[in-house]
Amino acid sequence: MHEKERHKIILSAIQDKPIVTVQEMVEVTDSSEATIRRDIATLHLQKKLKRIRGGAESINPPQFVGLMGRPFSVNESMNLPQKQAIAREAVALCDDSDAIIINGGTTTFQMVHPLVTKRMQVFTNSFSIAEHLLKQSKNTVLLPGGTLYREQNIILSPFENDVTRNFYAKRMFMGARGIHMLGVMETDPLIIQAEQKLIHQADELIVLADSSKFSKRSSLILCQLEQVNMVITDEGIDDKSANMLEVAGVKLIVAKTINKNQKSSA
Amino acid sequence: MHEKERHKIILSAIQDKPIVTVQEMVEVTDSSEATIRRDIATLHLQKKLKRIRGGAESINPPQFVGLMGRPFSVNESMNLPQKQAIAREAVALCDDSDAIIINGGTTTFQMVHPLVTKRMQVFTNSFSIAEHLLKQSKNTVLLPGGTLYREQNIILSPFENDVTRNFYAKRMFMGARGIHMLGVMETDPLIIQAEQKLIHQADELIVLADSSKFSKRSSLILCQLEQVNMVITDEGIDDKSANMLEVAGVKLIVAKTINKNQKSSA
DNA sequence: TTACTGTCAATCAAAAACAATCAAAAGCAA
DNA sequence: TTGCTTTTGATTGTTTTTGATTGACAGTAA
């Protein structure tokens, strides 16, 4: 992995949560401690972050306090600029007074910020999204009932009788672990269950997935590609994947990442 | 866990309530007493808090932060020590692995703190309680589905089919606006509806009400006194009210506000 | 009184993080 | 390819942080 790439990842991660550790970055970038330390030292000199013992700290107080202060799997804080661009596009599709469903996930979480100025009805099983929308926006927030899972900050319910069935939305926005010819893929069976339940509660199904998701396959199929109305991704998507979506009849929106220092080394 | 993280946790904990103990922080941060003491000593030197025997104290005058950072209404922040004592008694009734229901309210909210060290199943319609328990404790947290009301930080649902019906608890803890011969009283019809739905989901109904509530009457009757199994209040309760409860067959617990050195922590 | 409990400071050893160094690997130009 | 430079990973020993232990002290109960 290139130095620039690592730097991007580190800076992204630090936007999501106030502190990142060297160890976390080692895992994410698959490089050595020494390298990460060098990176952090470099970025510190560039005043992009503050070096602290054990890792790095955001240089300015974070505007978004991260997902409930929980240690957020850093793996998922990758590609943050892409996710933000994708989320912006997603929200751009919505009007005030729309009713939408947002599934919990790191990409969908980025919808929070552009949603702040809206006044919509938002149904979400993400505790984090609910929390932020409640505090920072005037949107109506609805939640399904169930158990709160700390790991994912998500509300899941094994029960069928659920408020979910009483809510019907114009659009449902969903993240994914991978997008493949086989379908939209996820890893966690519980999440699969929750998302499948929600898919039927909206007119349109829109999947938010940064381009890295197209190279990934996961263990479980969430739904067929044909069930998806639209995919929003970033500029990194390859032609083969784009073609695959077209064949499946899925509309594709490519969100442009706003990034001055975008070196197209990929 | 890193020093900075612990410091943040300690400082945030101290904002939630006037004093935190070393033990609490040990459990929350999963580090040793020595480390917490060092942290508190450091923060004391930085004048971020005041070190006291057994823990730390907020440095600025008792600033009640209340539900989700929203300031309490003056009326409700008034009897905070009483409410805390009442809440402590309430939690003292519970064992680990109990399943309980907690209704949203300023008195019941005070149960959060003593609950931090427990490992129970907590069903609550209070977003604030859920939030704090999720972040600061290891309790299992369950939520009903419905709409999030900003005003009260409560989840309310007009629908009958609800996870609520799938949860059955040993005890339900409920606040009240007033306790009167006519019954337990509330003001908000929506809250009445939610609480009535929950009353049937527990073996015992326990009402938490500081003594000022006995002089108050509100507009709506939530339930008859006879439905209540127990009332927990503070030392300010008058004989007439105590007698009224006895006649109705309600067990009464009087929580002692500030005794010599009451450490009723488990 | 004595025994017990909780708090605390001092101390030490283990663990984690670190800086410095060097050799291997990767990149690049001729 | 060779030769040179940059980057990386591993190794070393040093420093910092942490957890556990000890004994001292104060408050409480018997």
pLDDT in tens, B159-170: 777 788 889 999
- Give CA separation, A51 vs A59, B27, B46, in Å: 9, 28, 20
Q: Which of A161, A165, A197, A198 to mutate to test the interface with B (most CBs of B within 10 A)?
A: A161
**pLDDT at residue A44, as a whole number:** 92
Residues from chain B contacting residue A162 (CB–CB below 8 Å): 145, 161-163
pLDDT, tens digit (0-9, with 9 covering 90-100), for B231-241:
999 988 999 99
Which pLDDT band, with edges at 50, 70 and 90, does A241 fall under? very high
Distance, CA of A235 to CA of A247 (rounded, Å): 19
Which pLDDT band, with edges at 50, 70 and 90, does A168 fall under? very high
Higher pLDDT, B62 or B189: B189
Domain span at residue B225?
74-265
B161 and A165 within 8 Å at the Cβ level: the answer is yes
Within this chain, do residues B170 and B103 fall inside the same structural domain, yes or no?
yes
A162 and B157 within 8 Å at the Cβ level: the answer is no
pLDDT, tens digit (0-9, with 9 covering 90-100), for B89-115:
898 898 878 999 999 888 899 888 778
**pLDDT at residue B159, as a whole number:** 79
Whether the predicted pLDDT of B3 surpasses 80: yes
Distance, CA of A14 to CA of A40 (rounded, Å): 11
Q: What is the mean pLDDT of residues B213-220?
A: 85
Per DSSP, the residues of chain B read --HHHHHHHHHHHHHHSSEEEHHHHHHHHT--HHHHHHHHHHHHHTTSSEEETTEEE-SSS-----GGGPPPPHHHHTTHHHHHHHHHHHHHT--TT-EEEE--SHHHHTTHHHHTT---EEEESBHHHHHHHHHH---EEEE--EEEETTTTEEE---S--GGGG--EEEEEE--SEEETTEEEES-HHHHHHHHHHHTTEEEEEEE--GGGGG---SEEEE-GGG--EEEEETT--HHHHHHHHHTT-EEEEE-SS-SS-----
pLDDT, tens digit (0-9, with 9 covering 90-100), for A68-107:
333 334 444 456 678 888 999 999 999 988 999 999 888 8
Within this chain, do residues B89 and B194 fall inside the same structural domain, yes or no?
yes
Whether the predicted pLDDT of A207 surpasses 90: yes
pLDDT, tens digit (0-9, with 9 covering 90-100), for A7-20:
888 887 886 567 88
**pLDDT at residue B171, as a whole number:** 96
Within this chain, do residues A180 and A111 fall inside the same structural domain, yes or no?
yes
Does residue A96 contact residue A122 with C-beta atoms inside 8 Å? Answer: no
Question: Of B107, B196, B106, nearest to B151 (Cα)?
Answer: B106
Within this chain, do residues A7 and A55 fall inside the same structural domain, yes or no?
yes
Residues from chain A contacting residue B102 (CB–CB below 8 Å): none
**pLDDT at residue B117, as a whole number:** 67
Q: CB of residue B35 closer than 7 A to nucleic acid strand D? A: yes
**pLDDT at residue A226, as a whole number:** 94
Question: Which of A136-150, B47-61, B178-192 is least confident?
Answer: B47-61
CA of A34 to C1' of D6 (A): 15
Buried b / exposed e over A207-244, threshold 16 CB at 10 Å, is bbbbbebbeeebeebbbebeebbbbbbbebbeeebbeb
A68 and B8 within 8 Å at the Cβ level: the answer is no
Whether the predicted pLDDT of A257 surpasses 50: yes
Length of chain A: 266
Per the structure, the residue whose CA is closest to nucleotide D26 at C1' is: B53
Distance, CA of A210 to CA of A79 (rounded, Å): 7
Distance, CA of A117 to CA of A136 (rounded, Å): 9
Within this chain, do residues A151 and A206 fall inside the same structural domain, yes or no?
yes
Within this chain, do residues B134 and B56 fall inside the same structural domain, yes or no?
no
Does residue A234 contact residue A86 with C-beta atoms inside 8 Å? Answer: yes
> What is the overall mean pLDDT for chain A?
84
Work out how many domains chain B is built from and give that number: 2
Whether the predicted pLDDT of B186 surpasses 70: yes
Q: What angle do CA B209, B213, B217 make, to 5 degrees?
A: 130
Within this chain, do residues A168 and A226 fall inside the same structural domain, yes or no?
yes
Within this chain, do residues A23 and A87 fall inside the same structural domain, yes or no?
no
Q: What are phi and psi of A58, to 5 degrees?
A: -60, 140
**pLDDT at residue B116, as a whole number:** 73
Which nt sits closest to A36, CA to C1'? D8
Residues 85-144 of A with CB under 8 A from B: 127, 130-131, 134-135, 140-144
Q: Which nucleotides of D are covered by protein (CB under 7 A)?
A: 7-11, 16-21, 27-28
**pLDDT at residue A28, as a whole number:** 83
Question: Domain holding B37: CATH number?
Answer: 1.10.10.10
The 8 Å CB, 24+ separation contacts for A133-136 are: A134/B68, A134/B127, A134/B148, A134/B150, A134/B153, A135/B68, A135/B69, A136/A112
Within this chain, do residues A180 and A56 fall inside the same structural domain, yes or no?
no
Distance, CA of B211 to CA of B219 (rounded, Å): 19
Sequence-separated (6 or more) residues with CB below 8 Å from residue A34: none
Distance, CA of A11 to CA of A77 (rounded, Å): 10
A142 and B144 within 8 Å at the Cβ level: the answer is no
Q: Which of B65, B83, B110 is the last residue of a domain?
A: B65
Distance, CA of A49 to CA of B257 (rounded, Å): 48
Question: Domain holding A147: CATH number?
Answer: 3.40.50.1360
Q: Which of B34, B65, B96 is the last residue of a domain?
A: B65
Sequence-separated (6 or more) residues with CB below 8 Å from residue A160: none
Tokens 């709506």 map to which residue?
A: B220
pLDDT, tens digit (0-9, with 9 covering 90-100), for B123-147:
999 999 999 888 767 789 999 999 9
SS3 content of chain A, % helix, strand, coil (to 5): 40, 25, 40
- Report the residue from B131, B143, B159 with minimal CB separation from A166: B159
Residues from chain B contacting residue A131 (CB–CB below 8 Å): 127, 131
Of chain A, the percentage scoring pLDDT greater than 70 comes to: 87
Distance, CA of B6 to CA of B48 (rounded, Å): 13
> What is the overall mean pLDDT for chain B?
83
* Bridging pattern class, strands B202-208 and B230-234: parallel
Within this chain, do residues A175 and A51 fall inside the same structural domain, yes or no?
no
Within this chain, do residues B82 and B44 fall inside the same structural domain, yes or no?
no
Q: Which of A16, A36, A65 is the last residue of a domain?
A: A65
Which pLDDT band, with edges at 50, 70 and 90, does B73 fall under? very low
Q: Which residue of B has its CA nearest to A56?
A: B4
Cβ count near A129 (within 10 Å)? 26
Within this chain, do residues A235 and A131 fall inside the same structural domain, yes or no?
yes
Sequence-separated (6 or more) residues with CB below 8 Å from residue B38: none
- Give CA separation, B237 vs B116, B180, B231, B243, B251, in Å: 28, 13, 11, 10, 14
Question: Of A87, A161, A154, nearest to A118 (Cα)?
Answer: A87
B146 and A147 within 8 Å at the Cβ level: the answer is no
pTM for the model: 0.70
The 8 Å CB, 24+ separation contacts for B158-163 are: B158/B193, B159/A163, B159/A166, B161/A161, B161/A162, B161/A163, B161/A165, B161/A166, B162/A145, B162/A161, B162/A162, B162/A163, B162/B197, B163/A144, B163/A145, B163/A146, B163/A157, B163/A159, B163/A161, B163/A162, B163/A163
Distance, CA of A168 to CA of A99 (rounded, Å): 8
Cβ count near A98 (within 10 Å)? 15
What is the CB-side half-sphere exposure of residue B151 using CA atoms within 13 A?
4
Tokens 């600025």 map to which residue?
A: B60
